[in-house]
Amino acid sequence: MSIALSTTWLSRPGVVCALGSGLAQVAQRLYAGDTSGMQASDAWIQGRTAVAGPYAGALPEWPEDLAPHQRSHNNQLLLAAALQIEPMLRQAVARHGPHRVGVVLGTSTSGINDNAPAFVTLRETGRWPHGYDYRRQALSSPAAFLAEWLGSAGPAQTISTACTSSARALMTARALLRMGFCDAVVCGGADSLCRFTLRGFASLGAISDALCNPFSAARKGITIGEAAALFLMQREAPDDNGVALLGGGASSDAWHMSSPEPGGRGARQAMQAALSEAGLQAADIGWVNLHGTGTELNDAMESLAMQAFFPDQGVPCASTKPMTGHALGAAGALEAVLAWITLSPEYADRPLPPHIWDGQADPALPALDFSGAGQAYAPGRRRVAMSNSFAFGGNNASLILGAAP
């Protein structure tokens, strides 16, 4: 197995989420199966307690030279992640020039939750309050903010395809490099907890009252989290050999606005497209970070897709959402960070992250080989991981990451 000619490299990432801040803390808690960041609160859904995954750390001060309308909780999460890798980002701008560095991010909430009180004031008084600015919640805000903060002048775009948004951002960044539009791309995503979103999921009957329980017979739905995750993607391998994005694939089965295609056809198409671009076979995959939301329909679809895609032998897999919550538009990038951790030479001696659930297998679902109890990548082989994201509207995305050979 060799690296495809189109290999692009992912830097050490910046990350904030319910697991903590920075790679070291997130990795430590990931491997420990730490769900302590998931908190029960009655602040999100009126008259109901729900478990959610907020980022509990301090957020950075807002730079005085940036536009006030760009200040939002979403963009502060982004800034917290960016500051962790700031020297690397600024070095890329200095090396390649501002016009050769792009920014591609995924989100779904942007600054909606920050603007929500203004709509209450409008309803009660008939007027917008002082300081309200619609641009805070514009989907373009995250990429526009980060490009301005960094001083880059290349392509800057925000992608919003629900829960595949930031996985698609990594694929778009890769395309910009391959087509020669950029020499480096800051890519990833951010999504903040938002009452509008949580209440919307609750109205669909999709929110669990407890920690999500993916693939269990007792599963009751999703738990939402917030996160920001950023990579610097380049053609050249970093000094520490790093982790490569070997391939990415996407599909849109358009089965239903909110329900997945039951047999997993679109999911399999995305996984196969990612494998084909990477020049790999299913047997080369050593671990899969599942979408694993804990909803009845997604888990059933994903189980069938996994069984069909890996028919001859199971592949170790896990849903990491019980530790992070479902970060929606940031989920693809966040889970790529978690896959990156498993592939980094820094953590080569660690077992795979555990699948957190109650162990009550649903007899209606195909059995999966959930990682845990010291399970690790197969010895003597290059470590390769697949990270899958599936979304409303039939949007599906699959990323394949590999350790340096």
Cβ neighbors of 232 (< 8 A, separation 6 or more) are 10, 11, 85, 88, 89, 92, 184, 185, 186
Count of alpha carbons within 13 angstroms of residue 403, beta-carbon side? 20
Locate tokens 């004031």: which residue? 121
Query: How far is residue 333 from each of residues 190, 218, 222, 330, 345, measured CA to CA in Å?
Result: 8, 28, 18, 6, 20
Using the Cα atoms of residue 215, residue 271, residue 308 and residue 380 in order, give the sign of their dihedral.
Answer: negative
Would you call 312 exposed, middle or buried from its count of C-beta atoms within 10 A (0-12, 13-18, 19+)? exposed
Q: How many CA atoms lie within 13 A of 34 on its CB side?
A: 14
245 pairs with which residues across the strands? 8, 401
Q: Which of 212, 317, 326, 355 is catalytic?
A: 326
Whether 256 is catalytic is: no
Name the β-bridge partners of 390.
396
Catalytic residue among 17, 163, 187, 212: 163
Question: Could you tell me if 371 and 353 are in contact, meaning their C-beta atoms sit under 8 angstroms apart?
Answer: yes
The owner of tokens 């008084």 is 125
What are the Cα distances from residue 28, in Å, to 13, 15, 66, 228, 371?
Answer: 15, 13, 34, 18, 17
17 is a catalytic site residue: no
Q: Which of 17, 187, 194, 291 is catalytic?
A: 291
Rg (CA), the chain: 20
- To the query of whether residue 187 is one of the catalytic residues in this protein, the response is no
Neighbours of 209 (CB within 10 A): 13
CA distance 71 to 142: 10
Catalytic residues: 163, 291, 326
